[in-house]
Structure 1
Amino acid sequence: MAQWINGTVTDNHHWHANLFSLKVRTAAFDFIAGQFVRLALNTADGRLQRAYSLVNSPGSTEQEFLVSTVAEGKLSPLLQQLKMGDSIEISQPASGFFVLDEVPAGENLWLIASGTGIGPYISMLNTHQLYQRFAHIVLVHSVRTIGDLVYRELISHCQHQYPGQLHYQPVVTREALSGALSKRLPELIQTGELQSVCHQGLTNRSQVMLCGNPEMIKDTKAALENLGLKKNLRRDPGNITVEQYW
């Protein structure tokens, strides 16, 4: 049974009207980059809770979460309104198997996300394990608008820290942005455009992590399988490791 610890909001950064990053100060706790916890608020309508991936790396006393506001949702609109000093509860222990330890060795590692699915990858980017295990890492973030391209400054810092090892490729489907691709991920993979732009192959010697909305995961997984990659399971190691938020 999950336990709960108290947290205090230290920052609520709004990327745009419906996307924000919430920082919460807590006592330090252990987790593995890529795992999630539950955030909970007590309201007049009862206790509301939902799972969110940790964006910060392990070892911090300030936990960070990337949240998209769902208009008809019960919890996310309340989280968006939280201010510095407000209280929130966080579940313990952290959970989930969308971690690097579950990914087999490969010639390269593709971190493919849509929307807020980039959250666990941001946590991984600040760990030494990522760069020790994979010589070539490709972070692909598919979004609708330019404003959805979060944490670009942090990503750029990691690229400078590990020159030539980390490639960042934004995909923006509804607005034009220099350097970004604009088609859907499955099409970019099928035509080879994504691989060409990123200067990395997608073969049965690659490892791919997928995180985001179910439609993206389903269609992108199918495109990868058409290239000869298969789902990664503990009992049957493969190439495609999946995390679904919805």
Structure 2
Amino acid sequence: MGWVTGVVQERKQWTDRLFSLRVDAEVELFKAGQFNRLRLEIDGEPVARPYSYVNAPGETPLDFYLITVPDGPLSNRLAQLGPGDTVELMPRATGFFTLDELPDSRDLWLLSTGTALGPFLSMLKTDTPWERFENIRLIHAARKAEELTYQDTIRQFQERDAKRFQYIPFVSREPFPGGLEGRVPAAIAEGRLEHHAGLKITPEHSQVMLCGNPDMVKDTAAILRERGLEKNRRRKPGQITTENYW
């Protein structure tokens, strides 16, 4: 399968390390939650990494949320791109971290760290979660308040259905009024997250999607299994769907 050339329309710098690339490219329609690959030639060699879509299927331009990695050859080059620059993409997305892989349930919990917020924004821009679930909780954990990005987009979800949707930010390295402190797994174990959300996580009523730092994903899944939730598999449906994402 070949690559297609995309043209950068905008680079939005959120913080010194976090940025978004908005790209025009002729790619196939994807499912919200799937990822593409971005590729540049660096020192004569093609270097590619997977990045999830932030935009909804069919929405343009394509939107990717990235972090510059120390000594990361690709992320540091992508962070230098501006309008008119080009980047290569795969024509077809891939991945199974999508809502159609979830069994029906009453409550949808979307738990993310850092740039792993992206695929959840893509999902929430579609009608699917709003049609399938009575309650939606979006959790985004960051180190500092300035890293709680895409606030305009999140406000649109709140305006769409404030009764059904709640956004819960976590900030681990500084006080943040209105949010929760510490790590997501501890907040679940201590009951702080559910108290804040006004909703219990139960096997009977919950589907939980975990995306982000592998330690968060692993530790949170372990706590949820203690509650009786099980990993969601095609052959054996459960309540926990995970994707490690840096």
TM-score range, shorter chain: over 0.9
Cα distance between partner residues in 2 of 1:171 and 1:34? 22
What amino acid is aligned across from residue 107 of structure 1 in structure 2?
A: R
* Structure 1 unmatched ranges of 5 or more: none
Cα distance between partner residues in 2 of 1:117 and 1:7? 22
Cα distance between partner residues in 1 of 2:64 and 2:85? 15
Q: Give yes or no for the alignment of 1:17 onto 2:16.
A: yes
> Which residue number corresponds to residue 219 of structure 2?
219
Cα distance between partner residues in 2 of 1:28 and 1:75? 21
What are the equivalent positions in structure 2 for 1:24-173 lying under 5 Å apart?
Answer: 24-27=23-26, 29-173=28-172
Q: Deviations over 1:10-47 (max 9, x none)?
A: 00001000000110011252000000000001222411
Cα distance between partner residues in 1 of 2:25 and 2:35? 15
SS in 1 for 2:216: helix
Report the TM-score, using the length of structure 1 for normalisation.
Answer: 0.97
> Which residue number corresponds to residue 193 of structure 2?
194
SS in 2 for 1:92: coil
The farther-off stretch of 162-171 and 31-40 is 162-171
Q: Deviations over 1:66-123 (max 9, x none)?
A: 0010011110000000010001111121000000000111120000001111110010
> Which residue number corresponds to residue 230 of structure 1?
230
> Which residue number corresponds to residue 208 of structure 1?
208
Q: Deviations over 1:133-156 (max 9, x none)?
A: 001000000111111101111101
Report the TM-score, using the length of structure 2 for normalisation.
Answer: 0.97
Cα distance between partner residues in 1 of 2:44 and 2:71? 15
Contact preservation (8 Å) 1:8, 1:87: yes
Cα distance between partner residues in 1 of 2:26 and 2:92? 13
Cα distance between partner residues in 1 of 2:214 and 2:60? 32
Contact preservation (8 Å) 2:211, 2:245: yes
Contact preservation (8 Å) 1:55, 1:66: yes
Contact preservation (8 Å) 1:12, 1:82: yes
SS in 2 for 1:95: coil
What amino acid is aligned across from residue 122 of structure 1 in structure 2?
A: L
**Runs ≥4 in structure 1, deviation > 3 angstroms?**
none
Aligned length: 245
Q: Give how far 1:3 is off.
A: 2.5
Q: Deviations over 1:37-72 (max 9, x none)?
A: 000012224111000000000012311100010011
CA RMSD of aligned residues (A): 1.0
